[in-house]
Chain A
Amino acid sequence: MKYGILVNEGPYQHQASDTAYQFCKAAIERGHEVFRVFFYHDGVNNGTRFGVPPQDDRNITVRWTELAEANNIDLVICIAAAQRRGILDEGEAKRQGKDGENIAPGFRISGLGQLIEAGIQCDRMVTFGD
């Protein structure tokens, strides 16, 4: 089956991103396809590569990047939520006149249409939030 995932909360503050990750991993292990993970609201904070958690703790962002690269998952960050919170890719940084970008590998910034599309194309949509 084809799965779409919605993550509404940032890393380390709530369990949502951890649960979503474990769910995706289990779904892939059962032979399903995770088509897209859409990061919305504070969930966009999962997509900064500037986080440096202690070495004995999980790195939630790196974990998403690695899972996406290994399984061809589309990690999409909501553009409006990202702008409010300072999550930028190169194009956005240029467009907004900012002096840097911080998006993590494997993530891309796009719009809510990507969430709707996932809802249409996927057999299941599963939401994780606070």
Chain B
Amino acid sequence: MLHTVNKSPFERNTLTACLGHALPESAVLLIEDGVYAAMNGTAFEKDVRKAMEDRTLYVLGPDLLARGLTADQVIDGIQVVDYEGFVELTEKHDKVQAWL
């Protein structure tokens, strides 16, 4: 399953809820304000790194850029994708769960 998280973990707890439910092998895509969770050095970095042990994390590049953030500020191992990559993820995973 592909999970999308669109809010900063400092604003809502949807990232924590998502990571608590997302099964091994599933993918989590951070979009919109969710991209802040992909940043190095935040209070959530540990949770994100732990999640990456058995799940794959992605971040939407255009949403990083829109917030003045760059790929080199992203936690190692999180893959930066564009909208085409977003579509590809929905091809690979048969269900998409938006954590709103």
Contacts and interface: CB of A to CB of B under 8 A. Distances in A.
Interface string B54-79: 00000000110000000000000000
Interface string A10-40: 0000011001001101110110100000000
A126 B90 contact: yes
Given A8-B100, A124-B96, A30 B84 contact: yes
Interface of A is mostly: mixed
Contacts of B44: none
Contacts of A1: 91
Contacts of B33: 15
Give the interface size bracket for A toward B.
20 to 34
A112 interface: no
* Smallest CB-CB A-B distances: 4 pairs: A26-B83, A127-B98, A129-B100, A15-B32
30 contacts: A1-B91, A3-B90, A8-B100, A15-B33, A19-B31, A19-B32, A19-B63, A22-B62, A22-B83, A23-B83, A23-B87, A26-B86, A26-B87, A27-B87, A27-B90, A30-B84, A30-B91, A32-B87, A123-B94, A124-B94, A124-B96, A126-B90, A126-B96, A126-B98, A127-B96, A127-B98, A129-B6, A129-B98, A129-B100, A130-B100
Interface of A: 1, 3, 8, 15-16, 19, 22-23, 25-27, 29-30, 32, 123-130
